[in-house]
Amino acid sequence: MVNTVWDKLTESEKKKLFDFNEEYRQFLSISKTERTFVNNSLLLAKKAGFKDINKIKTLKEGDRIYAINRGKNLCLFVIGNKPLIEGMNILGAHIDSPRMDLKQKPLYEKDGLCLMDTHYYGGIKKYQWVARAMSLVGVVCKKDGTVVDINIGDNEGDPVVGVSDLLIHLAQDQLKKPGAIVVEGEKLDLLVGSIPNKNKKEPVKGYILDLLKKKYNISEDDFLSAEIEVVPSGEVRDYGLDSSMLLGYGHDDKVCAYTSLRAILEMKKPQRTSCCILVDKEEVGSLGNTGMQSRFFEDTIAILLDKQGYSKNIEINECLRNSMMLSSDVSSAYDSNYPEVSEKRNAAYLGRGISFNKFTGSRGKSGSSDANAEFVAKVRNVMDKNKVMFQMCELGKVDVGGGGTIAFILANMNMDVLDAGIPVQNMHAPCEVVSKADVYEAYRAYKAFLKDMK
């Protein structure tokens, strides 16, 4: 029989596991975008005693600090009793997820209906995103500097919106198309209204614009400077008749982000400084000022070094070189409906613990970040000492495909990095699935890493 996390749990551990997952379920249900994830994480961090980096003059052991970048990245630190230049233990995960965004000129009226044009974000199977309830979550930034929060579809009594799909009765031509173009990107337009205001030139669009003006005090031009994400409506749900799994939007990679966050919030006085970074834009290449490739991270470390009395220009390289990281991103969970894409011995399975990928990339390890064997051995040792169950795996058969994470960016800074994460079924679909056992085991793995890696 195969060993799973479930097999080794005592009754009291099982209760802790379910309680932890219920907290995650509630958190993810209200944290579907980068901005909401950062805001809700910040509430937890402040409650756990974390202070704004800009309000701290000098650093001392045990200090708890946060830094925020443009509302979309969060960096947390618990200062260790060793100096920063001896390196940090870092957990990193991304908090952006595949979705649709409203275009900058989204609204139009056609055939007596009002629609909104979208632009998809990240790698999606477009046919999965039609004929389902969607919410609009984001911000509208007005010229006068005010920022209007939009959140429609997830509060009680809210309406939802959605993209139509062609009825089966008339779809015989559509169904002959290859999957990639069964639904094309420009067909992902949302139906948002159907009541006309007969005094307007465009009656149905006019009605919606009036409504937006009244409710949010925004006008059509304000969409030019808006970021509104179109995400699946509704809460994350218990999944399986035994409620052993969670089904919901955004596990990639918010499940690793949440477990990393919880791990650092519980750190008290570590030997080496603990760090947790939650970043944006991984799904589109980690570029831009809120992606992992932004200078934000190094800049923040430089500020910390300065506050600890070091020269931030010289000693930052020493700090980075001595740091160690678990770059956490979800793995593909073995799927018995599609065994042909996995090589069974090296696949990740639901319920068997946190998964480590020595390397990522595709085919002949192209584009991979490959952890050094010496470092993998150290991580194994810490996991075994803390009785954390892990599985070493690859993403699919060697010739089938592959993927990348933020690991290479930190590895390029000359620190040791190992890809870690939680196995997911239906990755990048509107409803992804994780095992509660893996969620809990990852959280335990992160705590062990922060506490014991040296």
**Residues in touch with Mn ion (CB under 5 A):** 252-253, 329
> What does the alpha-carbon distance between residue 294 and residue 288 come to, in Å, rounded to a whole number?
6
Give the shortest CB-237-to-Mn ion separation in angstroms: 21
> Which CB, 253 or 438, lies closer to Mn ion?
253
C-alpha closest to that of 258 among 20, 6, 18: 20
Joined together, the tokens standing for residue 77 give 């630190």
Give the shortest CB-276-to-Mn ion separation in angstroms: 16
Give the shortest CB-359-to-Mn ion separation in angstroms: 16
Question: Shortest Cβ contact with Mn ion: which residue?
Answer: 253
The CB-side HSE value for 263 (13 A sphere, CA atoms) comes to: 32
> Which CB, 351 or 421, lies closer to Mn ion?
421
> Which CB, 4 or 259, lies closer to Mn ion?
259
Give the shortest CB-391-to-Mn ion separation in angstroms: 18
Give the shortest CB-132-to-Mn ion separation in angstroms: 20
> Which CB, 319 or 406, lies closer to Mn ion?
406
> Which CB, 252 or 335, lies closer to Mn ion?
252
> What does the alpha-carbon distance between residue 9 and residue 88 come to, in Å, rounded to a whole number?
31
> What does the alpha-carbon distance between residue 204 and residue 414 come to, in Å, rounded to a whole number?
57
> Which CB, 128 or 197, lies closer to Mn ion?
128
CA angle 99, 333, 364 (to 5 degrees): 90
> What does the alpha-carbon distance between residue 352 and residue 346 come to, in Å, rounded to a whole number?
13
Cβ-proximal residues to 451 (8 Å cutoff; 6+ apart), any chain: 267, 270
The DSSP result for 109-169, as a single string, is EETTEEEEEEEEESS--GGGGSSS-EEEEEEEE-TTS-EEEEEESSSTT---BEE----GG
| Helices marked H in 217-351 | 251-265, 296-307, 315-321
C-alpha closest to that of 317 among 76, 92, 60, 87: 87
C-alpha closest to that of 367 among 250, 286, 309, 289: 286
β-pairing, 354-357 vs 416-421, is antiparallel
> What does the alpha-carbon distance between residue 170 and residue 154 come to, in Å, rounded to a whole number?
32
Coil/strand/helix, residue 329 = coil
> Which CB, 253 or 315, lies closer to Mn ion?
253
User: Looking at 13-57, which runs of residues are DSSP E strands?
Assistant: 51-52
Give the shortest CB-18-to-Mn ion separation in angstroms: 25
Cβ-proximal residues to 213 (8 Å cutoff; 6+ apart), any chain: 219
Give the shortest CB-291-to-Mn ion separation in angstroms: 13
Give the shortest CB-330-to-Mn ion separation in angstroms: 5
> Which CB, 63 or 329, lies closer to Mn ion?
329
Give the shortest CB-93-to-Mn ion separation in angstroms: 8
> Which CB, 99 or 352, lies closer to Mn ion?
99
